[in-house]
Amino acid sequence: MELLRGRGRLNVGALRCLVHGPAPGAWNMAVDEALMDTARCGRVTLRLYQWEPGCLSFGRNQTARGRYDGELAARRGIDVVRRPTGGRSVFHHREITYSVTAPADEWGGLRQAYLRINRALAAGLRDLGVPAAVVEERRSSALPRPGPRACFRDPLPGEVVARNRKLVGSAQWRDGGALLQHGSLLLHNDQAMVEELRIGGSEGVDLPATGLAEHLDPLPPVETVVDALARAFATELGRERDRAELTTAERSMAGARMARYRRDEWTWRR
């Protein structure tokens, strides 16, 4: 029962909302994975968080060894981590990251859940005045291979864009009856750093990404964006919002998992 307690009370039917300040990449990934254990108990959780220091993340099966310069990242004070989810490289800095954990069969298959979550994101952004939309499905909707390219390089079907430029990059993982989908909502577009950290340097590619600052002037406080997203998720999922904190058990599980995300054997495993 401890896994399901938020602020000392049990409300499995609600959307549990966690809001966390900036933290290192290993901790952020460990918490997202730990929340999958809660999802296996039937709980749906929305987590909104940030990163400090700035962090380059690789997709679970992406080839990074020999393609990205970890020593250069360290000299620039940039963290490096490998996500539990798939996808490609992302630079996390001036952004708000969301994660959703839920039972794997909560919204159907991978694509159905992906679209449902991204529709909630787009709705929350539209409430802020952003011209956000979900890319329509195309007949050719095969996902690209997880090579060295950046996540924000290609807006794919089901993803969130603004004026045809990618605003949110997302990835999903399913394991043991739970799903995790998390992604980056850019406040400012810093994704050129992904190319700069490639071995051999940037290829001068103009990544078709965009940040909220290009659509909202002035950029609203983080708290305002977080609240808009939480409201939209609650509406889309048809659940009451329940603001909560990590349980003692979740913190313990995240602490145990963090060791893996700190190890080079995981980060540079391929």
DSSP 213: G
- The catalytic residue among 17, 41, 55, 151 is 151
Q: In three state form, how does the secondary structure of 138-183 look?
A: CCCCCCCCCCCCEHHHCCCCCCEEECCEEEEEEEEEEECCEEEEEE
Neighbouring CB atoms inside 10 A of 199's CB total 12
Neighbouring CB atoms inside 10 A of 233's CB total 25
Distance CA 178, CA 171 (A): 14
User: Pick from 152, 47, 158: which is nearest to 109 by CA?
Assistant: 158
The yes-or-no answer on residue 151 being catalytic is yes
User: Pick from 30, 42, 24, 84: which is nearest to 256 by CA?
Assistant: 30
Q: Which residues are catalytic?
A: 151
